[in-house]
Structure 1
């Protein structure tokens, strides 16, 4: 364990524990994302009132944000190509196993984009040295590849598990839409990175991510065509309509009303219902 002092670092860790992005916390306490970043990086002084406001929102005692904290060392680099937890409950989400460097990369890539990010900024967000990040990650591209392949794996096994529960094709289609929308809503920061930075991803990881999305598309289209043959879907072009539904799900992280994603189960259920309405014609 490496001891890490500083109120800013303690705030960042408490925010991560609470499952909030930097932008979300900034909006909720009424400051800009830039100011929140400066607070977490120790570049601005905090008033007692502001510190209390942050503590209240994060559900933690103010004193915890003033005391030295213990930060785990980054986990050793692992192969990001391992399979997802197939056979699990696709509606249940645990935090992905991301080391501090990867969690920091999510924050930085979401805020300023892959091309604008530097390893120094990732290191600062991780409360680490640049050398410390490079010890576990070869560079910015490897960070992006790990995040995007894990996101694709997580999304695909959920859709596959939803499909494999069985039932009529229309039921399978609805569950797969729910699973896809749920993955986008719950993992919205990772999904946003995957949607906006695909062109930045190099081979062979880019082809792997594209292939996972293609397999999802094929599953949904096949179920839609079967449901139309059964008479459960009345739309003239079930294959094309399925593609529209998939596009709507993948666009979830871009919704301007991001606060709606605070209830991902409801959002996913609504998308499934809308998809069925579209398919019934």
Structure 2
């Protein structure tokens, strides 16, 4: 049996803690499937409060009242309002990256398939987890150290897409003259889904994701192999 390293043990422990908070388990190859997310009562109340009033407008006392506990009880589980925001943002970003890594693995070696899978995965997350994803707008309210940690993780997705695009340009599949701007546009386009998408609308999450795959490949100036 393979021996666990200290880093592996720490990672496993971190994910167990995340699951206690209500974040999803690793979806594995089933990255297109989303179960209903059941956050811990404290995080659910904070998400509702921040969604209704923003981070600055949200009240710790109101969060405690939503849960039905006293302030000391809330502070026992989460030391501050900042801690609640950090936990929600970091948990969401971790889940996005885990899903995108699985999508990338499934895509194979062709850059056009890799981009398609990443964009589909990212868009699906923005639509299914829009309440969590919408909190990205509160990154400006993170304390400097927390903001640095979060942005470093968020940038990992852009770096992932940029590497694929660079490979596609070398492979003669993508022909955009502006790869950096194209990647930025694709990532921003997908992020915006959390702002406008509503499940009561005319398109399902999967339909939106497929349309965004087409838009992304058009932005990268995809040329079919052999033409």
Aligned mates of 2:177, 2:96 — CA distance in 1: 28
Structure 1 residue 185 corresponds to structure 2 residue 127: yes
Aligned mates of 1:276, 1:174 — CA distance in 2: 7
Match of 1:236 in 2: 177
Matched-pair contact (CA < 8 Å) for 1:84–1:153? no
TM-score with structure 1 setting the length: 0.65
Structure 1 residue 173 corresponds to structure 2 residue 115: yes
Given the superposition, is the C-alpha separation of residues 208 and 259 from structure 1 closer, same or farther in structure 2, using an over 3 Å criterion? farther
From 118, 140, 147, the counterpart of 2:81: 140
Q: Structure 2 unaligned runs (5+)? A: 1-15, 223-227
Equivalent pairs, count: 203
Given the superposition, is the C-alpha separation of residues 162 and 261 from structure 1 closer, same or farther in structure 2, using an over 3 Å criterion? farther
Matches within 5 A, 1:21-100: 78=17, 85=26, 87-96=28-37, 98-100=39-41
Q: Structure 1 unaligned runs (5+)? A: 1-76
From the CA coordinates, give the structure whose radius of gyration is larger.
1
Aligned mates of 1:261, 1:152 — CA distance in 2: 28
- Kindly state the Cα deviation for residue 96 of structure 1 after the two structures are TM-superposed: 4.2
Aligned mates of 2:178, 2:56 — CA distance in 1: 39
Aligned mates of 2:201, 2:80 — CA distance in 1: 34
TM-score with structure 2 setting the length: 0.80
**Aligned partner of residue 56 in structure 2, secondary structure:** coil
Higher helix share: 2
**Aligned partner of residue 55 in structure 2, secondary structure:** coil
Greater relative contact order (Cα < 8 A, sep 6+): 2
Given the superposition, is the C-alpha separation of residues 257 and 103 from structure 1 closer, same or farther in structure 2, using an over 3 Å criterion? closer
Matched-pair contact (CA < 8 Å) for 1:241–1:279? yes
